[in-house]
Chain A
């Protein structure tokens, strides 16, 4: 989907800098984000790639005001969520608009039953009980965890835990959902469960979604746009096909490329021929490669 010119962008980032005193560097300020400009339209699915330590998580945290409100550090430039500057709104007020699903399931599930987990934010937002019931049931159904309602999140599988975390965010019905490496450390079954929900969100909701991922194969399937962060700088931006076709640049950046794209790049005869980025495209591509 192309950014819709008429609408207010969901996210508008202008000249975002962020520096944080680093213990490793003897309390000197370390620049983590360096002049990020980025606009994300309502309903867009944007994936963020980049090597470990490039500032991906920092960027996510800047989108709901955790940075700089809760972390300290020095921020420059502006982040606007539907035209609201995050400097003027606290995280708790932005929470209704921006939900983040974090990487570590253990620290983001802090109650003792799945339904309490999903109810927590609704209670904070003073939602009436009758409405709460509907929202909780709906969110659980969406991610397929209704049968786990009374269970303790502690004893669920990794994939189930992350789906509980997604449901807890969905119940708030935020316009923007951020997934920060939601499948890191999950087993293949859990990864599949989470991506199934992500796919559902992408295709059946009008939510704006930002996903930080290493799995290029999933990024290729889902994204409207991919951005690459390297050392705090936004170095590449484009459609998945544009981004993954730049094989050499991505290799230099140290990020993963769909394996089929790597292979096609290595054997193609003409630089003009577009590269496949998903498996289904790859099979005919290789059969027809002159």
Chain B
């Protein structure tokens, strides 16, 4: 068997804060290139601490973080940011330019791209995020949904191999979150690895292939999302409620063709109709 190339790897990662709190206690995870991964856990489980290690904003007390096979201990955040894009939860923390256009070109300038390359990238990203109409607006005065898009777009413009999204759908209405996640999945289909830190279990079920569940600074479970969402006792241990469709399918004992648990609307409908037909 050929193991998939892992783009993120942590080895026995431990982090103790200055206050003495152990936030991560020996976490070893591996994320395969091109995967979509959910990082799940309650606040205080260590998920943000783990995510911040992946771009070097926090450094391990012990253990190691490897991005693309290389230990990042000696790299600066600015260097790592070429490989790993981190989109913060609050867009206001990450946007600061006087126009959307400047915002998108900021990272490209720090990457040292020439004008032509920058324009190419920016046009592409404006189109993807449907931001063409807002190029000259100051991002700070746009609505929340648009600010979220701009902050995500400004990171995506840099084309990092790995994209880490911290609670991307919080505060967004259903349409905006679906739109945003579809754009992210488009990036995934082009080879970007996606890691989503989220409490939104519908996003987990509909968009991620694998999940990492943290509890109390330790990795409680990891594996395919469809397997983990079936393990109700595991979820209840972390006090996470699966999306309604999962509760419904398990109550009705519905299965997909591959015997997995239907996790999305489409999968449910297919499983339900094939049962009715038989």
Contacts and interface: CB of A to CB of B under 8 A. Distances in A.
- Decide whether A and B assemble into one complex: yes
Interface of A: 22-24, 50-53, 103, 157-158, 181, 184-192, 214, 217, 251, 254-260, 262-263, 266-267, 279, 282-283, 286-287, 289
A257 B273 CA distance: 21
Given A24-B138, A53-B145, A214 B173 contact: yes
Interface of B: 42-44, 89, 137-138, 141-145, 167, 170-176, 199, 202, 239-241, 243-245, 247-248, 251-252, 265, 268-269, 272-273, 276
A243 to B, nearest CB: 14
Contacts of B141: 22-24
B144 A256 contact: no
B254 to A, nearest CB: 9
Nearest to A289: B276
Given A263-B269, A267-B273, A286-B248, A188 B173 contact: no
Nearest to A259: B244
A287 B272 CA distance: 10
Given A185-B170, A254-B176, A259-B202, A283 B251 contact: yes
B173 A50 contact: yes
A52 B172 CA distance: 6
Contacts of B176: 51-52, 254
Contact of A267 (B137, B170, B244, B269): B269
Given A103-B171, A258-B244, 12 more contacts: A52-B143, A52-B171, A52-B172, A52-B176, A53-B143, A158-B43, A187-B43, A188-B199, A189-B42, A256-B173, A260-B244, A279-B248
A181 B144 CA distance: 14
A103 B171 CA distance: 10
A219 B48 CA distance: 29
A267 B249 CA distance: 14
A214 B43 CA distance: 20
A158 B167 CA distance: 15
A184 B177 CA distance: 14
Contacts of B199: 186-188, 191
B165 to A, nearest CB: 15
Contacts of A282: 244, 248
21 contacts: A24-B141, A51-B173, A51-B176, A53-B144, A103-B171, A157-B43, A157-B44, A185-B170, A214-B171, A254-B176, A255-B174, A259-B244, A259-B248, A259-B265, A260-B245, A263-B245, A263-B248, A267-B269, A282-B244, A286-B252, A289-B276
B249 to A, nearest CB: 10
Nearest to A190: B43
